[in-house]
Amino acid sequence: MFAAKIFTLYPEFFPGLLDIGMYRRAREKKIWSLDVVNIRDFAIDKHGSVDDKPFGGGSGMLMRPDVVNNCIEKNQNDNPIIYLSPKGDKLDTSLVKQFAQQAGINILCGHFEGVDQRVIEKNNIQEISIGDYVLSGGESAAIVVLDAILRTLPGVLGAEKSLDEETFNNNLLEYPQYTQPRNWEGITVPDVLLSGNHAEIKDWRLEQSRSITQRRRPDLWDKYNKKNN
C-alpha cells in the first residue's frame, strides 16, 4: 500500500478530489492510504501560534520552525518528505515515477510566505515545484502531486497500458485523439485512424507526437533527439 501523509494548516482540503472515482475506489481497495496531519495541533505556546514575521523585514508571515518541526518529528516515518515551493525542483514524469516507487510520501504544505528554511534543512526535505507560478498555499499543489503519483500505481487505472502512450513518456507530447461521430460539424476523423491498419496508425501517431512536440516544446524535442539519435 502506498502511504500518503499530508502536513497542513488546513486539513479540510483533504481528501477533496482524491475521494472521487478511481482514487476513492483504489483507497477502498487499500492500494493507497491517506493520513492528514493538522500542523496547528503542534503549536507550542498558549496562543496556538503557527507563524510570525520574517527576520529582515518583508511582507507576510512565515510558518514557525519550532511548530512545523514539532509536527514532523511526532509524525514522520521512513518515507521521503517534500515541501511544495515555487523554487523547488520541477515536477516531471521522471520524478513522479521515482516517488511512485517508494512505499509512500510525506508532503509539507506551506502557507503565508512559506516555511522557515531551517526546517527544510534540518529534515533534509526536498523542495518540489509544480510550475512557475505562485499559489496561496501548498494544499492544491499537494493534490496535483498525489494525482500524478497515484494514477501510476498498479490497480488504480482501468487501462494501465495507456500509461505507456501518455504525454511526456519518451519526451514526446501525446498525439491527437478522436471518437464518434466520424463527421462532426464538417470536421472528419483522419482516414488513417479508420483504416484498421495498426502499423500505419502507429506510424501516424508517432509522427503527430513528434510534430507537436517540435512546435510546442523545443526543450522536450531536444531531449527526444538526444535519446534517439
The conformation of residue 59, written as its DSSP 8-state character, comes to: S
- In the chain, residues under CATH classification 3.40.1280.10 are 2-150
Minimal CA–CA distance to 17: which of 41, 29, 34, 1?
Answer: 34
| CATH number of the domain located at residue range(s) 167-228 in this protein | 1.10.1270.20
Burial class of residue 140, CB neighbours in 10 A (0-12, 13-18, 19+): middle
Torsion of CA 110, 114, 116, 120, to 10 degrees: 50
Q: Structurally, what CATH architecture does the domain formed by 2-150 represent?
A: 3-Layer(aba) Sandwich (3.40)
CB atoms within 10 A of CB 142: 27
pLDDT per residue, tens digit, the chain (229 aa), is 999 999 999 999 999 999 999 999 999 999 999 999 999 999 988 888 999 999 888 888 999 999 999 999 999 899 999 999 989 999 999 999 999 999 999 999 998 889 999 999 999 999 999 998 888 899 999 999 999 999 999 999 865 555 555 556 688 998 999 999 999 999 999 999 999 999 999 999 999 999 999 999 998 899 899 888 7
Query: pTM of the prediction?
Result: 0.83
Query: What residue spans in the chain does CATH classification 1.10.1270.20 cover?
Result: 167-228
Specify whether the CB–CB gap between 212 and 175 falls below 8 A: yes
